[in-house]
Chain A
């Protein structure tokens, strides 16, 4: 059931950002907490629905490169989510439906749903529970240090984040946020023991309606050399998704 692994990372990536201009930008040093809160707000779609087609390319030095296509529907205010696999052929039609706290995995071979708790499904994946929920950088992390620097052509704030409590996914992070738009460009995630676990690069933002959504990003595993995942989001839409999409009946029907 590799889909589960993959789904988890897809979910993790979805928690990335949609850009909106920063509300206020004071000259000199800004309110970093507000900066983080803005990033959080952008990541959480709140009132609107979200749908997109994702292409995931995962490179693993021992397992080779795999490409997957998946369609995702998301409604954060109801905590519901549907993933449908489009590629590879062998997994076409597999679905992954989250309604409230229940996760259902649909296998078109057996035409059956299997139920599992959220926890069980995300075991063994790169993703943390908090990745699937709402982003809460401002709530979970305090800015311990800040610096300014360039990342490619962008002027950025470089913030060292320290966890405010011991139940965050990472004990510390280092994030790069553009000064101009408040866009998250890069994040380094550290373990409790202070070791770099992964680096995320948010390389492209697309305008959807009135906001900016990150549509291309890459996770580089810092522990396993050569292991990384790149994601491309297309056909992004914030238009309402019909209610019936988030039902088992729909998952079955799409597969017929």
Chain B
């Protein structure tokens, strides 16, 4: 082992109070950045999973046609071109779901509640049931006409129990008022308050409410094999579709909002200006990333913020290291002279201090990392009550975390570089002490 390093390792334990203080400051910074980074990372992963589950896919293709009267009708009247393009990319695709959705009002006795109702083709989605955590009732009869599944909190607010009948009022795709009677067969742990958790009924039920034929649907949702390829795959599919079918311009406004407007707009279809009209089915595309763009940017702001906090703590710690080692050099002047007399070179003396600062920082970082992991592991043992907005960011009710090794490594490198930079000033001063003068200092 390098002699400077050996002396440095020993020196770390020499003034325990000072070491604990410095390492503690470093550890605190590392604790905070690791904790927040891991939490934000975990939340990002959980939210992605929860949102994609709630929306039923990664890519959401919608279709619309122009009616005789010039209104935009939300129906994928001719899915042919899209389906053939998707078939050609079947290797990238995990599954495809065809759905319709109606936004309307549930009425149970005197109570009313706004709710989105998603129509699911239960026959073609046999594993649909596995994705919901059932609170009451059962999904066995979900494919029957009029069978309704609601988020539990929505059912609670209406005061409706499984087995009871209720009304759902909505507009058809053409904008005509409609109402249908439904029977609640089950409730699941969802977050209707967040406006994301839908009620579910069979595709046929929702279609008849929307004034659509039994085989029709509004959106085609695609689950990809790898959710990291969402943007790239979306671009490729749109490129494949270009020329085969009219496409909705993607950049002009928030695509999720536009789709939600079209699908869920309770006030009927938008009229299409003469110049804008198209022939046949026009496809629109929104992706999970579009949907989460705002959320993602909030997360990255939080991430950047905690990184800044880390940098500030780092800067404060570095001032601490600089000052501490200035004092240490004074305290150890005679020893520096001795080392020099015994034959240690200038660089060797410098390295003693650099190594020491590095070890103190590493110990601190390790302690901070361990503390953060301990806190996260502890937090994970708690299961938070479901059915709230919060649960959208949790992993089945648990606080999620994902330690990013790359980020942790980056922070560690940053920390080491900063510590070395801070210690380099006193270390250089130590190495430049003339040996005779150093030896004369009181031991």
Interface positions of A (Cβ within 8 A of B): 60-62, 119-120, 122-125, 128-129, 163, 165-171, 189, 191-193, 195, 197, 223-227
Contacts and interface: CB of A to CB of B under 8 A. Distances in A.
B112 A167 contact: no
A226 B268 contact: no
Contacts of A120: 261
B107 interface: yes
A168 B211 CA distance: 13
Interface stretch (B166-174, B189-197, B332-340): B166-174
Contacts of A165: 68-69
A129 B211 contact: no
Interface stretch (B177-185, B233-241, B369-377, B416-424): B177-185
A197 B179 contact: yes
Q: Which 10 A-B pairs have the closest CB atoms?
A: A61-B110, A192-B178, A166-B174, A191-B179, A122-B267, A123-B266, A191-B178, A167-B174, A62-B110, A195-B179
A122 B261 CA distance: 12
Interface string B108-133: 01111010000000000000000000
A37 B175 CA distance: 23
A166 B107 contact: no
A122 to B, nearest CB: 5
A151 B220 CA distance: 51
Contact of B267 (A119, A189, A197, A226): A119
B268 A225 contact: no
B110 A169 contact: no
B162 interface: no
Contacts of A170: 176-177
B112 A119 contact: no
A20 to B, nearest CB: 29
B273 to A, nearest CB: 11
Given A122-B267, A124-B114, A169-B177, 19 more contacts: A62-B112, A119-B265, A128-B175, A128-B268, A129-B175, A129-B267, A163-B176, A165-B68, A166-B176, A167-B174, A168-B176, A169-B175, A169-B176, A171-B177, A171-B178, A192-B176, A192-B177, A193-B209, A223-B107
B169 A223 contact: yes
A176 B411 CA distance: 78
A165 B341 CA distance: 104
7 contacts: A120-B261, A128-B177, A192-B177, A195-B179, A197-B169, A224-B107, A226-B110
A253 to B, nearest CB: 31
B268 A129 contact: yes
Contacts, number: 82
B71 interface: yes
A224 B180 contact: no
A191 B67 contact: no
> Which of B109, B174, B175, B177: most chain A CB closer than 10 A?
B177
Nearest to A222: B179
A27 B167 CA distance: 45
A195 B182 CA distance: 14
Contacts of B177: 128, 169-171, 189, 191-192, 197
Nearest to A197: B177
Contacts of A122: 267
Interface in B56-112: 67-69, 71, 105, 107, 109-112
Contacts of B261: 119-120
B161 interface: no
A171 B176 contact: yes
Contacts of B109: 61, 225
A226 B269 CA distance: 30
A128 B105 CA distance: 15
B326 interface: no
B270 interface: yes
Contacts of B211: 166, 192
> Which of B107, B112, B265: most chain A CB closer than 10 A?
B112
Contact of A223 (B174, B179, B208, B268): B179
A61 B110 CA distance: 6
Contacts of A124: 105, 114, 266
Nearest to A124: B266
Given A119-B267, A119-B270, A193 B176 contact: no
A195 B177 CA distance: 10
A192 B261 CA distance: 22
Nearest to B114: A124
A11 to B, nearest CB: 12
A167 B175 contact: yes
A195 B169 CA distance: 11
Contacts of B179: 191, 193, 195, 197, 223
B206 to A, nearest CB: 13
Interface string B263-296: 0011111100000000000000000000000000
Nearest to A119: B267
Contacts of A125: 267
Contact of B268 (A167, A191, A227): A167
B325 to A, nearest CB: 56
A123 B112 CA distance: 15
A227 B105 CA distance: 14
Contacts of A123: 265-267
A236 B105 CA distance: 35
Contact of A167 (B67, B114, B180): B67
Given A119-B261, A197-B169, A225 B110 contact: yes
B296 to A, nearest CB: 25
Contacts of A129: 175, 267-268
A225 B270 CA distance: 32
A119 to B, nearest CB: 5
B150 to A, nearest CB: 18
A167 B176 contact: yes
A223 B169 CA distance: 9
